[in-house]
Amino acid sequence: MFEKYNPINDLMLQVINNDGKVINKEFFPKLDDIQIIKAYKDMLFERTADLMTVSYQRQGRIFTYPPNYGQEAIHIASGMVIKNEDWLVPAFRELGAYLAKGATLKEIFLYFMGYEDGTVFKDANHILPISVPIASQLIHGTGLAYAAKYLNKKEVVFAYVGDGGTSEGDFHEALNFAAVWKVPVVFVVQNNQYAISTSKEDQTVSVNFAIKSVAYGMKGIKVDGNDLFAMYAALNEAHDYCSKGNGPVLIEALTYRKGAHTTSDDPTKYRDKAEEEKWEQKDPLKRLKSYLIDNKLFSEDQEKNIIDDYKKEIDRIFSEAENYEPYSLNEVFKHHYADMPQDLKNQQREHENFLKWKES
């Protein structure tokens, strides 16, 4: 697959077209109908949860939130490929992937409500917290992959970044180190066309993002990121390639950020309706649903019911999160050091004294 879709030729792996028709049988992945239906439902869940989270934010019930919609195929396909022992190294726009890895929606809510507890993903195995400093997490992926190789563990690392993130020096160092060390890490660039307001064209003038792999002597491939089958096929191939000790892979997932950068952002300032409509045709859910309906695996009626159920469930989880325990002073101090300095203890005690005084 990597030979055929060598990014130097600017080809893109696609399996279904905008109408959900299979146009590339060769790379149609080995998935049974049940798995495909589940994938669609997971995408639906991600979208529903995501849209509801945006509306919770509009209601002032959570703080700034970066919506995922439009990019679900990447996340759900990732979730299908990433095994329990593999590592997930997030940026901050991979909701479906976190959930698949074992993070809970409640935790996501907690995080955006302002609790560090929400980024621990405590029941999820081998996941890193959400990483805000752009591209910096990729290097952790390289380090984790080094450890996997050194410790002879069968783990593959999946590390995510945006199109904007490819411009950071850390992108370069992460990929170069991984290639030199020949370690099992898949770097996924979610090319959603924008870094906040900055278009892809102002970010780089390379032919595509996948071709950046060439600079590191590693495999790279450009994939239709709104095509679940293509994403699954590429991620799976990359997993396989890494598992065999061949070194890292770079996947560019071409997609579109349908929503705002975050709920604080206003995309009308920097992009037009025509563009949004063009991408609407390529919506990952629409495409997969067309496939399912064509193959009589799913119906519109079903969808409505499912969404209603999801909504109820999500609302329930959200209120659970809203009733989370208060954030104690102790939590501010507790987790900085394995061996906490006396100074920190003193500062906490002094503050407690102040609080006592204030109450009296």
Partner 1 sequence: MNIVNAINNAIDIKLNEDPNVLAFGEDVGKEGGVFRVTEGLQQKYGKQRVFDTPLGESGIAGSAVGMAIAGLRPIIEMQFSGFVYPAFNQIVSHAARMRNRTRSRYSTPIVIRMPYGGGINALEHHSESMEALFAHVPGLKVVIPSTPHDAKGLMIAAIESDDTIVFMEPKRIYRAIKQEVPEDKFSIEIGKGKIVQEGTDLTIVTYGALVREVQKAAVMAKKQGISVEIIDLRTIYPIDRDIIRDSVTKTGRVITVTESPRSFSVASEVSQIVIEEAFLNLEAPPKRVTGFDTIVPLPKGEHHYIISPEKIYYEILDTIKY
Ligand X SMILES: Cc1ncc(C[n+]2csc(CCOP(=O)(O)OP(=O)(O)O)c2C)c(N)n1
If one asks whether residue 165 binds ligand X (CB under 6 A), the answer comes out as yes
Q: Identify the residue among 14, 48, 104, 136 touching partner 1 (CB under 8 A).
A: 136
From the list partner 1, Mg ion, ligand X, none, partner contacted by residue 147 (C-beta under 5 to 8 A by kind)? partner 1
CB of 345 to partner 1, least distance (A): 10
Tell which positions 173-202 bind ligand X, by CB under 6 A: 190, 192, 194-196
Tell which positions 153-172 bind partner 1, by CB under 8 A: 164-165, 167-170, 172
CB of 234 to ligand X, least distance (A): 19
Could you tell me if residue 193 is left (phi over 0), alpha (psi between -120 and 50 degrees) or otherwise beta? left
From the list ligand X, a second copy, partner 1, none, partner contacted by residue 117 (C-beta under 5 to 8 A by kind)? partner 1
CB of 76 to partner 1, least distance (A): 25
- Cα–Cα distance measured from residue 73 to residue 79, given in angstroms and rounded to the nearest whole number: 10
If one asks whether residue 273 binds partner 1 (CB under 8 A), the answer comes out as no
What is the size of the binding site for a second copy (CB under 8 A)? 25
Tokens read off for 150: 């050194």
63 versus 327: smaller Cβ distance to ligand X: 63
- Cα–Cα distance measured from residue 192 to residue 211, given in angstroms and rounded to the nearest whole number: 17
β-bridge mates for residue 224, sequence order: 254
If one asks whether residue 116 binds a second copy (CB under 8 A), the answer comes out as no
Catalytic residue among 150, 270, 335, 351: 270
β-bridge mates for residue 185, sequence order: 157
- Cα–Cα distance measured from residue 241 to residue 229, given in angstroms and rounded to the nearest whole number: 18
CB of 68 to ligand X, least distance (A): 9
3-state secondary structure of 39: helix
Contacts of residue 260, Cβ cutoff 8 Å, sequence gap at least 6: 67, 266, 267
Q: Is 241 a catalytic residue?
A: no
Chain centroid to CA 244: 24
- Cα–Cα distance measured from residue 130 to residue 127, given in angstroms and rounded to the nearest whole number: 9
Tell which positions 145-204 bind a second copy, by CB under 8 A: 167-173, 176, 179-180, 182, 202-204
Neighbours of 30 (CB within 10 A): 8
301 versus 325: smaller Cβ distance to partner 1: 325
CB 125 within 8 A of CB 152: no
- Cα–Cα distance measured from residue 5 to residue 11, given in angstroms and rounded to the nearest whole number: 6
Tell which positions 167-206 bind Mg ion, by CB under 5 A: 192, 195
Q: Is 261 a catalytic residue?
A: yes
Burial 198-213 (b: 16+ CB within 10 A, else e): eebeebeeeebbbbbb
3-state secondary structure of 36: helix
- Cα–Cα distance measured from residue 40 to residue 295, given in angstroms and rounded to the nearest whole number: 13
CB of 235 to partner 1, least distance (A): 20
Q: Identify the residue among 1, 22, 51, 120 touching partner 1 (CB under 8 A).
A: 120
CB 188 within 8 A of CB 249: no
Q: Is 61 a catalytic residue?
A: no
Tell which positions 124-143 bind ligand X, by CB under 6 A: 132-134
Instruction: Select from 94-102, 206-214, 262-270, 324-332 the region that touches a second copy (CB under 8 A).
Output: 206-214
- Cα–Cα distance measured from residue 197 to residue 256, given in angstroms and rounded to the nearest whole number: 13
From the list ligand X, Mg ion, partner 1, none, partner contacted by residue 93 (C-beta under 5 to 8 A by kind)? ligand X
8 versus 132: smaller Cβ distance to ligand X: 132
Instruction: Select from 45-53, 63-71, 211-219, 325-333 the region that touches a second copy (CB under 8 A).
Output: 211-219
Q: Which residues are catalytic?
A: 257, 261, 270
Q: Enumerate binding residues for a second copy (CB under 8 A).
A: 8, 167-173, 176, 179-180, 182, 202-207, 211-212, 214-218
